[in-house]
Amino acid sequence: MNTTQHVATLGQSLWLDNLSRSLIHDGGLTQLIAGDGISGVTSNPSIFQNALATSPYYAEDLARLKLSEPDAERRYEALVIPDIQAACDLLLPTFEASSGNDGYVSLEVAPRWAYDAPRTVAEAQRLFAAVDRRNLLIKVPGTPEGVSAFESLTALGINVNVTLLFSVAQTEAVFHAYIRGLAARARAGADVRRSKAVASLFLSRVDTLVDTQLAEIGTQEALSLRGKAAVAMAKLAYQSYLDIFHGEAFAELAKQDATPQYLLWASTGVKNPDYHDLLYVEPLIGRETINTLPDKTLAALREHGQPGLHVEEGIAEATAQLAELAQRGVDMDTIGNTLQDDGVKSFEAAFQKLLRQTG
C-alpha cells in the first residue's frame, strides 16, 4: 500500500482535479485508479481549455465538427462529453464497489448561468441526459441562484457537485439546500438512497486573498496569521458537516438510507511557494471527505505525504485564528462572497476562451 492508497483507509477519497483525452487514451487515468486509488475526477472550463490546447487527440474530431456543427458550445460539448463518459466508465467499478458512494466524474454547467436558477436546472438536466452515466455529477456554482437550482435538482434526482464555495456560511447554505431537496424527493415518494451530492470548498484562493489583506495591515500579529485561514475555515466547515449530517437535521433522511453531502476540498494546490506543498491535504484528512488533487499535489502526496486523521484536530485553535482575523477586520463571509464572484468570472473567461478554441 502506498501513501495515496493509505488515505483511502482513513475514510477520505482522492479525486483527480484533471481530465483530458490524453489522460484517457494513454492509460494515465487507468494507472492512477489502479496505483494511487484515485476514485473520482473533477473537471472545469479551465481544465478543458488546457486539455484542448495540449492534447493531440481532439484535432480530427474538431475539424469534423467545424464542418457539421455551427454552434461553438455544442462543438465543445461534442468534444468533452466523450471524455466524461470514458472517465465514468473507467470509474464504474469503483462506483459499484462503493454502492454508489464514490467513483464520480464532474461536468460543469456553463458558467454564464451561475445567476439564473431556472436555466441552471434546465442545463443540468440536459447535460445529465446527454452524458447518460449513473456516476456523473453535474457541477453547479454555489451562488444563491445556484443553491436554489441545486435544491430543485436534488428533488429531481440529479446528482450534483456544488462548486465555488469559499466560506463556512456558503457551505452551510448548500448543506441545508441538499436536505430540503432530499426531503421534497422523499415526500414525492421517490427513492433517496441513490441521491449523491458533494460540496466543493475552495482553499488556496482563500489564503491568497486573506494574506493580501494581512500584508496590508502589516503588523507582526497580522502577518503571523498568513497561510492559516483556509485550513481553519475547512476544519470548522467539517464540524458543521458533522453537526448537520450526524445530527437531528438529517436524522429522518438517514433512516431512509440517504447519503450525507460530503465535503470536497478543492483548490488544494498551494499558490504561495513558501507554503508546504501539502498544506491543503495532510491537515484535512478525515472520514467522509474528498480531496480533489491537481497532478502536482497528487505527486507530492505520493512521494512524501504523511497521512493521518487530522481534520478534527485543532478545532479550538482554528476557531481562535478566525476570531483573530475578524478582530483585525478580515471578514471571512466577505472574503467568500468576493472570491465566489471572482470565481464565476474566471470560469466564464476560461469558458469563452475554450469556445474560441473550438471555433
What is the pLDDT of the chain when averaged over all its residues? 97
Yes or no: say if 137 and 105 are a contact pair by the CB < 8 Å rule: yes
**Residue for grid cell 458512494:** 101
Q: How many residues comprise the chain?
A: 359
Q: Does position 357 have pLDDT exceeding 90, yes or no?
A: no
Per residue in 293-323, pLDDT (tens digit) is 999 999 999 999 999 999 999 999 999 999 9
Per residue in 121-169, pLDDT (tens digit) is 999 999 999 999 999 999 999 999 999 999 999 999 999 999 999 999 9
Task: Return the DSSP state at 165.
Answer: E
Range of the domain at 204: 3-357
Mean pLDDT of 35-63: 94
CA–CA dist 85, 157 (Å, integer): 19
* Cβ within 8 Å of residue 299, ≥6 positions away: none
- Is the four-CA dihedral 205, 206, 208, 212 of positive or negative sign? positive
Task: Return the DSSP state at 227.
Answer: T
Cα–Cα nearest to 48, from 87, 92, 102: 87
Going by pLDDT thresholds of 50, 70 and 90, the confidence category of residue 1 is confident
Rounded to 5°, angle at Cα 286 from 5 and 175? 125
pTM surpassing 0.85? yes
* Cβ within 8 Å of residue 71, ≥6 positions away: none
CA–CA dist 343, 166 (Å, integer): 10
Radius of gyration of the chain (CA): 20
Q: Which residues are catalytic?
A: 139
Q: Does position 275 have pLDDT exceeding 90, yes or no?
A: yes
Mean pLDDT of 193-207: 97
Q: Does position 359 have pLDDT exceeding 90, yes or no?
A: no
Residue type for 124, please?
Answer: A
The x, y and z cell numbers of residue 257, run together, are: 438510507
CATH classification of the domain holding 153: 3.20.20.70
Amino acid 286: pLDDT? 97
Amino acid 134: pLDDT? 97
Cα–Cα nearest to 297, from 274, 269, 328: 269
What total of structural domains would you count in the chain?
1
From the number of C-beta atoms within 10 Å of its C-beta (0-12, 13-18, 19+), residue 218 rates as exposed
Pick the range with the lowest mean pLDDT from 126-130, 210-214, 355-359: 355-359
